[in-house]
Amino acid sequence: MKNFNPPQDLQKQVEMYFDQALDPQSQQEFLQKVDSDPTYHQAFQHEQAMRDQIKKRIYRPVTSSQLIQAIKNQIRKPGE
């Protein structure tokens, strides 16, 4: 894993972690760094709180099974 020191790189690595863009070894190294470095811990906590707030505030309507079936039927029609 690269050594991320500048704030932009730290933020990018935090985002990559939450987006699951790091390989398993890099994830483990990152989490160890979060546990040992207060700067990493603060950035991690901030990103986690921001993402939790976004999830709580965005309303996602539930899609009915009838709508899903209608879409599937429309997809199947032209190719028959």
Report if residue 2 sits inside a domain: no
Dihedral sign for Cα 37, 39, 41, 43, please. Answer: negative
pLDDT at 32 over 60: yes
Q: What is the pLDDT of residue 3?
A: 55
Instruction: Give how many domains the chain has, as a whole number.
Output: 1
How many other C-beta atoms can be found within 10 angstroms of the C-beta atom of residue 51? 13
Spatial neighbors of 48 by CB under 8 A, at least 6 apart, are: 18
For residues 4 and 10, give the distance between their C-alpha atoms in angstroms, rounded to a whole number: 6
Burial of 4 (0-12, 13-18, 19+ CB in 10 A): middle
pTM of the entire structure? 0.65
Which residue range is the domain that position 32 belongs to?
7-79
Residue 1 lies in a domain: no
